[in-house]
Chain A
Amino acid sequence: MNWVRSFLDKIKPNFEKGGKLYFLHSTFEAFEVFFFVPNKVTEKGSHIRDYVDLKRLMTHVLIALAPIVLFGMFNVGLQHFRLQLGLDIDAWGQVVKEIGFWRIFWYGFLRILPIIVVSYVSGLAVEFTSAQIRHHQVNEGFLVTGMLIALIVPPTIPLWMLAIATIFAVIFGKEVFGGTGMNFLNPALLTRAFLFFAYPASMTGDAIWVASKGLDVISGPTPLALAAQNQFAQAPSLLTMSLGFIPGSIGETSKILIILAAIYLIFTGVANLRVMISALIGAAAMGIIFNLWGANEYMQIPFYYHFFIGGFLFGAVFMATDPVTSAQTPTGKIYYGLLIGIFCMLIRVINPAYPEGAMLSILLMNVFAPLIDHLVVQQNINRRKKRALLSQTIKS
């Protein structure tokens, strides 16, 4: 590794103040610290610091996402060949048998890779440029955001749309507020919301969930769409849905992998358990209410089915827990999670315009998170004031 170090040391002066390439100094630093944790030592405060930094934290999220990405690739291929063979949604075993695992994966890989690349390139371009303009260091936040964006779009998304949406979300969702740590909306969800409202034709309907270029059959409704059309009886089995062999956004389909990822994130201490659990409780509670109400077929779908359809689980694990845009106080996190669950169900079941409620409910709660926190912090303040008052009355 010494040759990397000596190479970096050799070219470093060019990027320092007064050097020829000073205008690229943020870029250089980003690559330098990618290869090496700097030799900087503590100057103030505690003389020792933990080994964990933001890069490592983000890396753990990526590790948790990796199986989901790989599965997403496989599933995109699977859905393509399933339609080609004209098979039923539960017949995934037969598809694998006829086409072969690697061919299916390869097809999906070729469809998904460009999406991931475009998401990263367009987002990182904004990040690097704005870091350069502000003479800041490039922050790690987008390493996760970029992957999340790729996982919550339909596999048929035109790449130029994705690029525009990503650039919009990073600039107006994040950089204008001061970059990583300062944004109040989850940038990945903002990307999806932008696509959803700017290009509804590419984001909604049945046609988009299966990558099926050049085929006559292009119908592939998601279980969620079936539910919204009161045709849930045609939905795939619970097993198929929990394994994830269904049409849908790239990363949202495999519930089992998402649950495994959630366990990993909680075990490593990266994501917050409170948010996840309370989101589930909120959704379950609302689902039970709908079950009891039972005004239409959609309301009668057993509440636990809602965890297996659509992007709710993915949203609860990866989006709602975003430490920057979620509620900051421990108590606030509980309310925040509960409300996400409740609103997700409300939007899904009551609002016919939007089949999926996870994205909108999380974005809505992103907006309200500061208010929730304000109320929780205010309680703390009131407690303190009350205590002071009490001690004064005892004195006098």
Chain B
Amino acid sequence: MKEHFKIKKGLDIPLAGEAPLKDLPDISTDKYAILPQDFRLLSPRLLVKEGDDILAGEPIIQNKLNENIFITSPISGKVTAIIRGEKRILKQIIITPNSSQEYKIFNIPNTLDRDNIIKLLLESGLWVNIKQRPYGIIANPSDMPKAIYISAFDSSPLAPDPDYLIKDEEESFQKGIDIIKNLTSGPIYLNISSSRNKSDFYKSIKNIELHDFEGPHPVGNVSVQISKISPINKGDIYWYLYPQDVIFIGRLFQNGKLDLHKKIVLTGSELTERGYITTLPGMSMQALLSNRLKQNNVRVISGNVLTGTNAGLDGFLSYYDNQITVIPEGYYYDFFGWVAPKFTKYSPSRMIMNWLIRSKKKKYVLDTNMHGEERPFVLSDQYDKYFPFDIYPVYLLKAILSENIEQMENLGIYEIVEEDFALPEYVCVSKINLQEIVRKGLDLMIKETT
């Protein structure tokens, strides 16, 4: 049954700052935040006000566009601040936790049919962990997906060890699989990578179809896996989630609690101490990092260096992320930097001289400098090496820029999301923000087609 897929195109950036497989001591903080902007395209209705006491699992935000979808609190405590940005955009809901976590208890329905399961997932707020392709947005409960995809590994730079994240959670994971099995008429594709998933965790898991993917990043991206197993056609809907989400669902149906505790990894060259830590989404960066920084001129990223969000030291861990990366900021002028040979710097191309002395094991500290200025598209073939799809990236990007919906459909917009353009964006000689363009295209498609 198990099929092997090998991807050749892509790149593993040898970024310094990998975390060892060790647990860091738990930390407590007086500040968690719910960040409505993590849940893309949501038109939020705030259900709490400052001073309210809430339990873990109680709703905080309702989606005005689909009133069945709620975002619930991962933590029990008191709402202490509601922070809005420009045009009163809801930015942060700050919650000060109780001394001990208290859960709202959900009634587990006696008959676990599709409707009951969806109802409980919606009510508990766990629904937002199920996303859909095309577009990479929160799934619509009234759809019936052709299949559900689970990418069991992350191939992005400094990604957490996929087995370590879910160690000893087999029971909840199997429970979660059994639950989501009811959500689709098709199979659950669970995609591992034998060079990355070394443990036996998935050996005993039932109700799934296991596939094996090898190759460089972006092999862990769901888009790549879908494109190999069952390419998306117009009108197809697939749902996808990640192993930790399955575990949350399992826990909910085991004990009726919304328990979002998960392992996350602290990575990056600018940390004095790296490792894994168990926490909740919305944890404050200050608490996680303040005594672990090498210096202050750093970028604190929730997620990885290619697709993460710039949280800042006063920010919070985003809802979906299980990684924090800290790299140096790049505020410096580089004297004749465009012509200097740069023996000691990393580039995947041979246009800097580093290839002369590069060893495979060497890891490099990369900073946030743009290393140049934005220019029009000039090179036509540089993205191809890092883009393992049967899609012409530049043509798709140009269709998006000209807002040509039909052409975007023709050229494969349903098959990709912005993260698939992260590597091309990294290597782009013209320094164009490709992920932003792709996101705009996806948003436009959503607006025009629904």
A interface residues (Cβ-Cβ under 8 A, vs B): 1, 4-5, 33, 35-57, 59-60, 137, 139-141, 178-182, 267-270, 272, 323-324, 326-330, 333, 377, 380-381, 383-385, 387-388, 391-392
Q: B142 CB to closest chain A CB, in angstroms?
A: 19
**Given A36-B334, A377-B411, are A60 and B381 also a contact pair (CB < 8 Å)?**
no
A303 to B382, CA, bound (A): 33
Question: Which of B330, B380, B382, B425 is in CB contact (< 8 Å) with A45?
Answer: B425
* B residues near A4, Cβ cutoff 8 Å: 335
B5-46 contacts to A (CB < 8 Å): 13, 15
Q: Can you name the residue of chain A whose Cβ is closest to the Cβ of B398? A: A328
B292-308 contacts to A (CB < 8 Å): 299, 301, 305-308
Question: Which of A39, A52, A182 is in CB contact (< 8 Å) with B333?
Answer: A39
Contact A51 B371 (CB under 8 A): yes
* B residues near A328, Cβ cutoff 8 Å: 380-381, 392, 394-395
B351, CB-defined interface residue at 8 Å: yes
Question: How does the 8 Å CB contact mask read for B366-394 relative to A, with 1 for contact and 0 for none?
Answer: 11111111011111111010000011101
Q: Which of B338, B373, B382 has the most CB of A within 10 A?
A: B338
Q: Can you name the residue of chain A whose Cβ is closest to the Cβ of B391? A: A380
Contact A323 B339 (CB under 8 A): no
B349, CB-defined interface residue at 8 Å: yes
Question: Which of A39, A181, A269 is in CB contact (< 8 Å) with B378?
Answer: A181
B109, CB-defined interface residue at 8 Å: no
**Given A55-B372, A326-B380, A381-B410, are A388 and B335 also a contact pair (CB < 8 Å)?**
no
Contact A51 B310 (CB under 8 A): no
A37 to B342, CA, bound (A): 13
Question: Which of A50, A137, A182, A384 is in CB contact (< 8 Å) with B427?
Answer: A50
Contact A57 B351 (CB under 8 A): yes
Contact B333 A5 (CB under 8 A): yes
Contact B330 A41 (CB under 8 A): yes
**Given A44-B435, A46-B306, are A54 and B395 also a contact pair (CB < 8 Å)?**
no
* B residues near A49, Cβ cutoff 8 Å: 369-372, 425-426, 428, 431
Contact B433 A45 (CB under 8 A): yes
Question: Which of A53, A323, A324, A377 is in CB contact (< 8 Å) with B372?
Answer: A53
Question: Which of B299, B351, B373 is in CB contact (< 8 Å) with A40?
Answer: B373
A-B contact sample (11 more), CB < 8 A, given A48-B367, A388-B233: A37-B333, A43-B433, A48-B366, A49-B372, A51-B337, A51-B351, A51-B352, A56-B338, A59-B338, A141-B378, A380-B390
Contact A51 B347 (CB under 8 A): yes
Q: Which of A4, A43, A55, A330 has the most CB of B within 10 A?
A: A55
Q: Can you name the residue of chain B whose Cβ is closest to the Cβ of A324? A: B378
* A residues near B235, Cβ cutoff 8 Å: 388
* A residues near B381, Cβ cutoff 8 Å: 272, 323, 328, 330, 333
Q: B25 CB to closest chain A CB, in angstroms?
A: 28
Question: Which of B233, B301, B338, B411 is in CB contact (< 8 Å) with A47?
Answer: B301
Question: Which of B325, B332, B418, B426 is in CB contact (< 8 Å) with A39?
Answer: B332
A-B contacts, 21 of them at CB < 8 A, read A41-B299, A41-B329, A48-B305, A48-B367, A48-B426, A51-B371, A52-B347, A52-B349, A52-B352, A53-B429, A54-B378, A179-B376, A180-B375, A180-B376, A323-B379, A326-B380, A380-B391, A380-B412, A384-B410, A387-B231, A387-B233
A70 to B342, CA, bound (A): 26
Q: B58 CB to closest chain A CB, in angstroms?
A: 34
A43 to B299, CA, bound (A): 11
B345, CB-defined interface residue at 8 Å: yes
B360, CB-defined interface residue at 8 Å: no
Q: B378 CB to closest chain A CB, in angstroms?
A: 5
B88, CB-defined interface residue at 8 Å: no
B288, CB-defined interface residue at 8 Å: no
| Size category of the binding interface on chain B | 35 or more
* B residues near A48, Cβ cutoff 8 Å: 13, 15, 305-306, 327, 366-368, 426
B336-356 contacts to A (CB < 8 Å): 336-339, 342, 345-352
* B residues near A137, Cβ cutoff 8 Å: 373
A324 to B395, CA, bound (A): 14
A55 to B367, CA, bound (A): 20
Contact A38 B427 (CB under 8 A): no
Question: Which of B335, B367, B430 is in CB contact (< 8 Å) with A36?
Answer: B335
Contact A269 B349 (CB under 8 A): yes
Q: A167 CB to closest chain B CB, in angstroms?
A: 22
B56, CB-defined interface residue at 8 Å: no
B121, CB-defined interface residue at 8 Å: no
* A residues near B391, Cβ cutoff 8 Å: 380
**Top 6 A-B residue pairs of the complex, sorted by shortest distance between their CB atoms:** A53-B372, A181-B376, A37-B337, A388-B233, A37-B334, A45-B435
Q: Can you name the residue of chain A whose Cβ is closest to the Cβ of B395? A: A377
Q: Can you name the residue of chain B whose Cβ is closest to the Cβ of A2? A: B335
Q: Can you name the residue of chain B whose Cβ is closest to the Cβ of A45? A: B435
Contact A52 B371 (CB under 8 A): yes
* B residues near A267, Cβ cutoff 8 Å: 350
**Given A54-B375, A383-B390, are A47 and B327 also a contact pair (CB < 8 Å)?**
yes
* B residues near A140, Cβ cutoff 8 Å: 375
* B residues near A323, Cβ cutoff 8 Å: 378-381
Contact B333 A54 (CB under 8 A): no
Q: Can you name the residue of chain A whose Cβ is closest to the Cβ of B435? A: A45
* A residues near B412, Cβ cutoff 8 Å: 380, 384
Contact A181 B427 (CB under 8 A): no
A36 to B301, CA, bound (A): 27
A39 to B381, CA, bound (A): 28
Contact B370 A46 (CB under 8 A): no
* B residues near A179, Cβ cutoff 8 Å: 376
Q: Can you name the residue of chain B whose Cβ is closest to the Cβ of A389? A: B233
Q: B379 CB to closest chain A CB, in angstroms?
A: 5
A270 to B378, CA, bound (A): 11
B24-76 contacts to A (CB < 8 Å): none
Question: Which of A50, A182, A324, A377 is in CB contact (< 8 Å) with B426?
Answer: A50
* B residues near A383, Cβ cutoff 8 Å: 390
B258, CB-defined interface residue at 8 Å: no
Question: Which of B330, B339, B429 is in CB contact (< 8 Å) with A54?
Answer: B429
Contact B334 A50 (CB under 8 A): no
Contact A50 B347 (CB under 8 A): yes
Contact B310 A47 (CB under 8 A): yes
A387 to B391, CA, bound (A): 14
Contact A33 B373 (CB under 8 A): yes
* A residues near B301, Cβ cutoff 8 Å: 47
Contact B370 A270 (CB under 8 A): no
B436, CB-defined interface residue at 8 Å: yes
Q: Can you name the residue of chain B whose Cβ is closest to the Cβ of A137? A: B373
Q: B351 CB to closest chain A CB, in angstroms?
A: 5
A130 to B379, CA, bound (A): 22
**Given A47-B305, A388-B234, are A41 and B352 also a contact pair (CB < 8 Å)?**
no
* A residues near B337, Cβ cutoff 8 Å: 36-37, 51
Contact A44 B436 (CB under 8 A): yes
A49 to B349, CA, bound (A): 12
**Given A40-B369, A45-B434, A57-B379, are A268 and B13 also a contact pair (CB < 8 Å)?**
no
